[in-house]
Structure 1
Amino acid sequence: MISVAVVDAETPGNIGTIARSMKNFGLSELLLVDPPELDPDGEAYGFAGQAREDILPEAREVTFDYLVENYHTVACTATTNEDASNHVRYPAKTPAELADSLTGVNSDTCVVFGRERVGLTNDELARLDELCSIPASADYPVLNLGQAATIVLYELRSVTVERDQHPDELHARADERAVEGLHGEFETFLETIGHPAEKQAKTQRMFRRLLGRAHPTGRETRTLRGLFRRARQRIDRATAESDPGDET
């Protein structure tokens, strides 16, 4: 299932527009992090169209931590200019590429949109699994939040509208608890091998992006955790054997 999250929106009307686009393209779960007040007589419901009947009133307020812990997350950002030296904002898929990568993958995925003026912060982006950016004119690459969400959700229609027609073709991605456990094992592995402390955060982000694109299965996730754990145990034993400690 694909859900949509909006983080710290300022304008209720944008939330209503996003809810309407969700209704258009076959999505139903809307998650709100630090939302403004949504007055049933206000612009959010006025912009929502038929989504005012179900998607908007059933929207859930959650924390950012909840998104990270429970979903395969896709951060939607402004154009990134594909700068490979910026590991926080690279690599980014186009919405069409994102749809292709999610086709046939059975996972709880959440597409995350940020604030109207500044989007998602670098700290927030570093915690999410994938990036999606809309290619736009270099002369004016900034899109309205509601417009950006509509473009992304339109491209995802092949997944959200057609997925139920081909249930046997789904690829079962590992659940988020297992994937986060793998990230924790990798973090410990980096510490064990003495990876430079100043490079550990960047390396962990790169590994998160890699897994985000790969959609590992439960078996693959367990295997990788086991490999990192056994490697760590061998290193610990070799270290202990080479340094037997003080003799009495």
Structure 2
Amino acid sequence: MISVAVVDAETPGNVGTIARAMKNFGVSDLLLVDPPELDPDGEAYGFAGQARKDILPNAREVDFEYLVENYHTVGCTAITNEDARKHVRYPFRTPRELADSLVDVDADTCLVFGRERVGLTNAELAQLDEICAIPAAADYPVLNLGQAATVVLYEMRTLTLEATQLPDPELDRATEREVEGLHDQFETFLAAVDHPEEKRGKAQRLLRRLVGRAHPTDREAVTLRGIFRRAAQRARKADDS
């Protein structure tokens, strides 16, 4: 199971935003260390969306030591070190690498997010099991707390959502008959526009490679066939006039 902990959040709104992201990506267990007051009529519940019905009301207040003692902990931070000698923040995983690494981990994991302005301290990170950081522009790598949690939780979705809840990644690719029909129509088009005959084979191979990488849908293939057909017809009419 994956849980989320927010340490010493300054604004209730960020707690609500994180709760909403949890709801989006199938995480329900929210742990709060030194939280602000979460007024049911305040911004935390206002920002939480549907998470105000279950995740926020069921959030548990714990201390930092509870996280360390009961979970495989992942500290989420924007500031890292590329030097192995400074090992408190190194090495670190990206959110995608973290998701891949957790597939075979048979342990309850807690994603730990820190304060809005300063994040998790070195002393806190030193107690956690591993570090996760989001790659961002070097001149401004710091994300808003709610944004950071959303990005990390998005990458966790393959672990937290049932397969039936995930969109079907299978592409509705055009049939081979439609694809070959597109290539035949392109051949006719090249002849109609009087493309140099010695270059037609190369042009056809280039289109075949392009279409092969693109995996067009039936509708895309049919549309392109129609465009080539109309263009060929107009080219012939222009030649006849």
TM norm structure 1: 0.65
Structure 2: distance between partners of 1:79 and 1:125: 11
Rate the CA distance shift 1:163–1:129 in 2: closer, same or farther, 3 A.
Answer: farther
Structure 2: distance between partners of 1:94 and 1:104: 17
The corresponding residue for 2:153 is 153
Structure 2: distance between partners of 1:164 and 1:7: 33
- Give the superposition deviation at 1:106: 2.2
Any residues of structure 2 matched to 1:156-195 within 5 Å, and which? 156-162=156-162
The corresponding residue for 2:7 is 7
Q: Secondary structure at the match of 2:139?
A: coil
Any residues of structure 2 matched to 1:203-242 within 5 Å, and which? none
Structure 2: distance between partners of 1:5 and 1:97: 20
Any residues of structure 2 matched to 1:57-206 within 5 Å, and which? 57-162=57-162
The corresponding residue for 1:25 is 25
Q: Secondary structure at the match of 1:131?
A: strand
Q: Is the 8 A contact 1:79 1:134 kept in 2?
A: no
Q: Is the 8 A contact 1:13 1:47 kept in 2?
A: yes
Q: Is the 8 A contact 1:75 1:132 kept in 2?
A: yes
The RMSD of aligned alpha carbons is 1.5
- Can you give the 5+ residue segments of structure 1 that lack an aligned partner in the other structure? 166-248
Q: Is the 8 A contact 1:92 1:130 kept in 2?
A: yes
For 1:95, the aligned partner's letter is: P
- Give the superposition deviation at 1:91: 0.4
Structure 1: distance between partners of 2:93 and 2:83: 13
- Give the superposition deviation at 1:80: 1.2
Q: Does 1:49 align with 2:43?
A: no
Structure 2: distance between partners of 1:164 and 1:67: 31
For 2:15, the aligned partner's letter is: I
Deviations 1:19-56 (CA, angstroms, capped at 9, x unpaired): 00000000000000000000000000000000000000
Q: Secondary structure at the match of 2:149?
A: helix
Q: Is the 8 A contact 1:7 1:34 kept in 2?
A: yes
For 2:106, the aligned partner's letter is: N
For 1:26, the aligned partner's letter is: G
- Give the superposition deviation at 1:161: 1.0
Aligned pairs, number: 165
Structure 2: distance between partners of 1:164 and 1:70: 30
- Give the superposition deviation at 1:85: 1.8
Identity of aligned residues (%): 81
Structure 1: distance between partners of 2:83 and 2:112: 21
Q: Secondary structure at the match of 2:75?
A: strand
- Can you give the 5+ residue segments of structure 2 that lack an aligned partner in the other structure? 166-241
For 1:77, the aligned partner's letter is: T
Deviations 1:123-154 (CA, angstroms, capped at 9, x unpaired): 10000001000000011111000000000000
Structure 2: distance between partners of 1:39 and 1:8: 16
For 2:74, the aligned partner's letter is: V
